[in-house]
């Protein structure tokens, strides 16, 4: 009997193909919107996570200054970090695998007639280890170069491309301000970070070279500390904080005048933003799904009125209340499921296009797809029941007389 009901419902739907299509348009758009939003949202979350893990989720960043202030922050009032801090963290904090100093500045690199403004970072070889960054061409710094502050530099892929085009830069000398700097290596291309900046747009030089020739002081603006495998970020963070408080002579009860960020914090902040956005957009999309459901109810009510005579005929030739109810209910459910199906396909198609445009992975979530499908069935039941009941309760005599 169910198959017969389905047959009757399909007959009725096909008999009014255009109207059926317009009826489900609301659900199609609602479902497509939800699927597209969630899929693109999930893709961008995945992208952020991938970016951050590329940077190293086991990385802690230590900066002078109070509070969680972003770049700049309150650092000017707090004493800078020093190379001794780096050595102390490296030697005394057992949870830290590698600690590396960083100090950087935007400077113009010159080769012949070509000028290129880039980020010049003073650091050491452990920087490569901490950020898990390989050298594709050439080599890293010799210890002697690091100790003596030789003008040797390792280029990021973007800088290499800007200054040298397709030729190899190894052994050539570029000028950074007044420093003549020999290129000893090229970094592997990393692409854009989740913050949108180009990670390959940088030149590495030994930190001592930076101190002596660029900054004119011994400051370290940031320390990267890579945590030993299997040790929790929180533990490492506490260890570093204890050491730094001691080194910077911060009394009990006093606030830190430095802070330690971990990449996980940044990841969760970014994925948090992206999931809040996805949630909000999905909520809007869900509302449109609701509106789609009301659209179905509206058309079903119109359809019941318009088909009053048909209902009268069906009742007269022996359809029971239940059979008429089921026919209209199944019709509404089939309509909204059809809408759901088309919506899912359309949503996924939109998500593919959107993911391509935003250069993020296409991440369809089967749970959301099933949910959308189930939800459209529920929409059909809820918004189809009222019109169906109205049809079933009609008086056949009155219905037959209806023009």
Partner 1 sequence: MTLADETPVIALTGIAKTYGEGETEVRALQDVNLAILSGEFVAIMGPSGSGKSTALNMIGCLDTPTSGSYRFLGTEVGSLGRDQRALLRRNYLGFVFQGYNLLARTSALDNVELPLIYQGMARTERRALALRALARVGLTGREHHHPSQLSGGQQQRVAIARAIVTRPDVLLADEPTGNLDTARGQEIMELLTELNRDEGITILMVTHEPDMAAYAKRLVQFIDGRVASDTTNPAEIANVS
Residue 18 in the binding site for partner 1 (CB under 8 A): no
Q: Quote the CA–CA distance of 98 and 87 in Å, as a whole number.
A: 10
Smallest distance from partner 1 to CB 316, Å: 5
Residue 139 in the binding site for partner 1 (CB under 8 A): no
Given 70, 171, 196, 318, the residue binding partner 1 (CB under 8 A): 318
CA distances (Å), origin 94, targets 17, 228, 235, 239: 72, 8, 10, 8
Given 11, 94, 114, 168, the residue binding partner 1 (CB under 8 A): 11
Smallest distance from partner 1 to CB 317, Å: 5
Given 35, 40, 184, 315, the residue binding partner 1 (CB under 8 A): 315
Give 90's Cβ-side CA count (13 Å radius): 15
Given 316, 353, 359, 370, the residue binding partner 1 (CB under 8 A): 316
Q: Quote the CA–CA distance of 101 and 214 in Å, as a whole number.
A: 15
Residue 57 in the binding site for partner 1 (CB under 8 A): no
Residue 1 in the binding site for partner 1 (CB under 8 A): yes
Residue 314 in the binding site for partner 1 (CB under 8 A): yes
Taking CB under 8 A as the criterion, which residues in 336-365 touch partner 1?
Answer: none
Choices 274-282, 292-300, 312-320, 355-363 (CB under 8 A): range interacting with partner 1? 312-320
Residue 306 in the binding site for partner 1 (CB under 8 A): no
What tokens were used for 146? 């690091």
Q: Which residues pair with 154 in a beta bridge?
A: 185, 204
Choices 63-71, 306-314, 352-360, 367-375 (CB under 8 A): range interacting with partner 1? 306-314
Residue 147 in the binding site for partner 1 (CB under 8 A): no
Q: Quote the CA–CA distance of 20 and 7 in Å, as a whole number.
A: 16
Smallest distance from partner 1 to CB 44, Å: 48
Residue 4 in the binding site for partner 1 (CB under 8 A): yes
Residue 7 in the binding site for partner 1 (CB under 8 A): yes
Residue with smaller CB distance to partner 1, 8 or 89: 8
Q: Quote the CA–CA distance of 237 and 77 in Å, as a whole number.
A: 23
Residue with smaller CB distance to partner 1, 151 or 391: 391
Residue with smaller CB distance to partner 1, 144 or 395: 395
Residue 310 in the binding site for partner 1 (CB under 8 A): yes
By C-alpha distance, which of 387, 370, 396, 273 is closest to 35?
A: 370
Taking CB under 8 A as the criterion, which residues in 362-401 touch partner 1?
Answer: 396-397, 400
Residue with smaller CB distance to partner 1, 1 or 357: 1
Smallest distance from partner 1 to CB 11, Å: 7
Chain positions contacting partner 1, by CB under 8 A: 1, 4, 7-8, 11, 15, 309-310, 312-323, 396-397, 400
């Amino acid at each position: 009997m169910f198959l017969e009901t389905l047959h009757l419902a399909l007959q009725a739907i096909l008999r009014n193909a255009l109207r059926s299509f317009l009826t489900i348009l609301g659900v199609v758009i609602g479902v497509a919107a939800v699927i597209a939003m969630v899929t693109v949202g999930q893709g961008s979350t995945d992208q952020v996570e991938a970016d951050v893990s590329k940077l190293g989720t086991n990385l802690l960043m230590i900066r002078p200054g109070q509070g969680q202030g972003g770049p700049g922050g309150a650092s000017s009032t707090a004493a800078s970090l020093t190379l001794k801090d780096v050595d102390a963290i490296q030697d005394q904090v057992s949870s830290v695998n590698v600690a590396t100093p960083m100090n950087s500045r935007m400077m113009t690199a010159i080769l012949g007639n070509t000028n290129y403004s880039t980020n010049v970072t003073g650091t050491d070889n452990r920087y490569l280890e901490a950020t898990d960054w390989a050298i594709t061409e050439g080599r890293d710094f010799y210890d002697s170069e690091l100790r003596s502050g030789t003008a040797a530099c390792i280029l990021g892929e973007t800088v290499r491309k800007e200054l040298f085009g397709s030729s190899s830069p190894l052994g050539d000398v570029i000028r950074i301000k007044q420093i003549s700097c020999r290129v000893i290596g090229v970094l592997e291309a990393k692409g854009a970070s989740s913050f949108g900046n180009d990670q390959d747009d940088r030149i590495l030089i030994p930190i001592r070279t930076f101190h002596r020739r660029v900054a004119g002081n011994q400051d370290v603006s940031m320390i990267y500390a890579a945590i030993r495998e299997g040790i929790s970020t929180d533990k490492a963070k506490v260890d570093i904080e204890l050491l730094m408080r001691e080194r910077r002579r911060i009394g009990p009860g006093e606030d830190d005048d430095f802070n330690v960020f971990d990449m996980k914090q940044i990841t969760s902040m970014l994925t948090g933003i992206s999931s809040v956005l996805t949630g909000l957009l999905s909520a809007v999309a869900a509302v449109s799904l609701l509106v789609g459901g009301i659209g179905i109810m509206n058309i079903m009510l119109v359809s019941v009125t318009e088909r009053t005579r048909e209902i009268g005929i069906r009742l007269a030739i022996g359809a029971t209340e239940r059979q008429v109810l089921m026919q209209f209910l199944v019709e509404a459910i089939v309509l909204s499921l059809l809408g759901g199906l088309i919506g899912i396909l359309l949503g996924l198609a939109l998500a593919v296009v959107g993911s391509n445009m935003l250069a993020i992975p296409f991440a369809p979530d089967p749970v959301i797809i099933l949910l959308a499908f189930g939800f459209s069935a529920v929409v059909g039941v809820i918004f189809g029941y009222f019109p169906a009941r109205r049809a079933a309760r009609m008086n056949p005599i009155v219905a037959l007389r209806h023009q």
